[in-house]
Amino acid sequence: MKCSIVKNKNTNYLRLEIRNKIFKFSPIWLIEHSSDITIRDKQTNQLLIEAAELDLNLKINKFKINKSILSISFSNNSKHNYNINDLIAPKEYPKKTLWNSSLKKIPQYNFKKFNQKLLKDVLNAVDEYGFCLIKNMPTTKNGIHALTKHIGPIKETNWGNIADIKNIKKAYDLTMTERALENHTDNPYRFPTQGYIFLHCIKNSDVGGENTLADGFNIAKQIKSKNIEMFNILKSFKTFFQYKDKDTILENYCSLIETDYEDNIVQVRYNNRTEIIPYDDLCEINKYTEARSKFWKLIKSKVNNITIKQTSGDMIIMDNYRVLHGRSKYKDIKNQRYFRQGYLDRDILQSRLKTLAQ
Ligand SMILES: [Fe+2]
């Protein structure tokens, strides 16, 4: 391990060479990462200083290394200690298993065996695969709560808390008809879009009504590796989604593929029923519609889809930022098909997942 102070304009930085990797730490960054009780509150881990007011010309005066502890003296007369392993720890990404129709085993759990370990396994599966199936949920009207009460509150929307999915005469959404539903993600017209869908079957139709699921991350990755130009169009073109009824107007300008600052795919959207492409330069529109058409072909391709026919007591949890879902049309002479659906916000489920991992 080699460590040195390097001059940089009016300030300097600490250069650390360790295991053939070079790290460069600015004095301000180091102060903000100090766990000293004058800098960060022990209980909340929140900053106690206004870091934006630190002197931009702050310098590192000297350092000392004792085993894995790095002690640094700064030009503002403060001194802070760091564990070197903490400073160089790589960013951890949650494990994502991408899948298509060749997925060997659907992640499946039995609610009758519910305990904290099963809850952890369920949430891990949703995080890793983007979905899972839970058998033997209560078939009562609000049976979803039997599980969600251990995770967090159902998201209230303009449709209420847990919503009915059944064939009704005055459908306010195409889900409320016997019509097939093409693969889509839910409600891209909301900002933020709801993170997770809990789709609970109280009774299915005898004929039809199977669910289709496609891994949007896998599809987006295929596009990225085969046609980067098309991928860039899908992530940069801001299309428009809208939902309107007499009491509600929900609107959102957003792209079909969302990436983070390291270009990792973090969200896919597809909901042609509620899309209204905004007016744009003809060339941009042509590029977008061509890319969307190819994206759609992959979304509906048999190779990318799995099918699940839910029976009474089955609940599918889906990551609405990743998995596209659809439904085949159904025939239900006695109109008995009855599903219930609830949403959970992304932060709520992710928080529960992280607290269970502690
Ligand atoms: Fe849906």
Domain pair 2-88 / 108-357, same fold: no
pTM as predicted: 0.93
Structural class in CATH, domain 2-88: alpha beta
How far is the centre of ligand 1, averaged over its atoms, from the C-alpha of 86 (Å)? 42
How far is the centre of ligand 1, averaged over its atoms, from the C-alpha of 181 (Å)? 8
Other CB atoms within 10 Å distance of the CB of residue 105: 5
How far is the centre of ligand 1, averaged over its atoms, from the C-alpha of 175 (Å)? 7
Give the span between the Cα atoms of 2 and 11, in whole angstroms: 20
Q: What does each of the 358 residues of the chain score in pLDDT, given as a tens digit?
A: 999 999 999 999 999 999 999 999 999 999 999 999 999 999 999 999 999 999 999 999 999 999 999 999 999 999 999 999 999 999 888 999 999 999 999 999 999 999 999 999 999 999 999 999 999 999 999 999 999 999 999 999 998 999 998 887 777 777 777 788 999 999 999 999 999 999 999 999 888 889 999 999 999 999 999 999 999 999 999 999 999 999 999 999 999 999 999 999 999 999 999 999 999 999 999 999 999 999 999 999 999 999 999 999 999 999 999 999 999 888 877 888 899 999 999 999 999 999 999 9
How far is the centre of ligand 1, averaged over its atoms, from the C-alpha of 326 (Å)? 7
The domain 108-357 is placed in CATH, from the list 3.40.50.1370, 3.30.429.10, 3.40.309.10, 3.60.130.10, at 3.60.130.10
Give the span between the Cα atoms of 65 and 48, in whole angstroms: 26
How far is the centre of ligand 1, averaged over its atoms, from the C-alpha of 334 (Å)? 23
How far is the centre of ligand 1, averaged over its atoms, from the C-alpha of 5 (Å)? 56
Q: Domain map of the chain by residue range?
A: 2-88, 108-357
* CA triple 30-93-263, angle to 5 deg: 90
How far is the centre of ligand 1, averaged over its atoms, from the C-alpha of 186 (Å)? 5
How far is the centre of ligand 1, averaged over its atoms, from the C-alpha of 322 (Å)? 13
Pairing of strands 108-110, 131-135: parallel
How far is the centre of ligand 1, averaged over its atoms, from the C-alpha of 271 (Å)? 9
Q: How many angstroms from the chain centroid is the CA of residue 58? A: 38
Q: Are 209 and 153 a contacting pair, CB within 8 Å?
A: no
Q: Per-residue pLDDT tens for 317-329?
A: 999 999 999 998 8
How far is the centre of ligand 1, averaged over its atoms, from the C-alpha of 10 (Å)? 56
